Structure 1
Amino acid sequence: MMNPHMGSNFDDFLEEEGILVEVESIAWKRVIAFQITQLMEEQNLTKTDMAKKMNTSRAALDRLLDPTNTSATLNTLEQAAIVLGKRLRVELV
């Protein structure tokens, strides 16, 4: 019996399963949460300090740093980037 996925790439498989967008969202969020956490550590910023500088709550920052929570807004990401001395770049490809 021939494997229907033989020769296809992983994105094709995820698309066939109907989960490509969800998987990509989680992957991007994990990368962003990791980057923010790393920059906070490099700059010796606690979560409390970061939340204050972002003018947000500690709970909101915890949601941003949660790699499984994909509901971050562009505004929140932009605030985090500014506090960390970075620029947020979003692009459609």
Structure 2
Amino acid sequence: TIGHRGIVNTLKEVKKRFVNITEKQVTLFISGCEECKRKRSMPKSATKLVIKPVISNDFNARGQVDLVDKQLCPDGPYKFIVTYQDHLTKFCILRPLKTKTAVG
């Protein structure tokens, strides 16, 4: 089965199986397909998940932490960089680390 893959893909499959079928005929056939009409009329963003943004009301209430590995080109004893970005202000703090283990 070909499915609902658009004019170009349908035309390729039809040419593999049949002779003397034109692009105009395939276009006419697809224009009558109800499922293809629904797909074309549906906006692309409606098919994606709706993601709720993370809302912060205070500085340092929420943030994002990332660890950058610099072992291939260390800066002296520092082999890692920890980054912290505040969600409210987007302020970014960088700190060099010698190891990635927590010292307590």
Is TM (by shorter chain) over 0.5?
no
Greater CA radius of gyration, 1 or 2? 2
Name the structure, 1 or 2, with higher relative contact order (CA <8 Å, separation 6+): 1
Higher helix share: 1
Between Structure 1 and Structure 2, the one with more strand by share is 2
TM-score by length of 2: 0.21
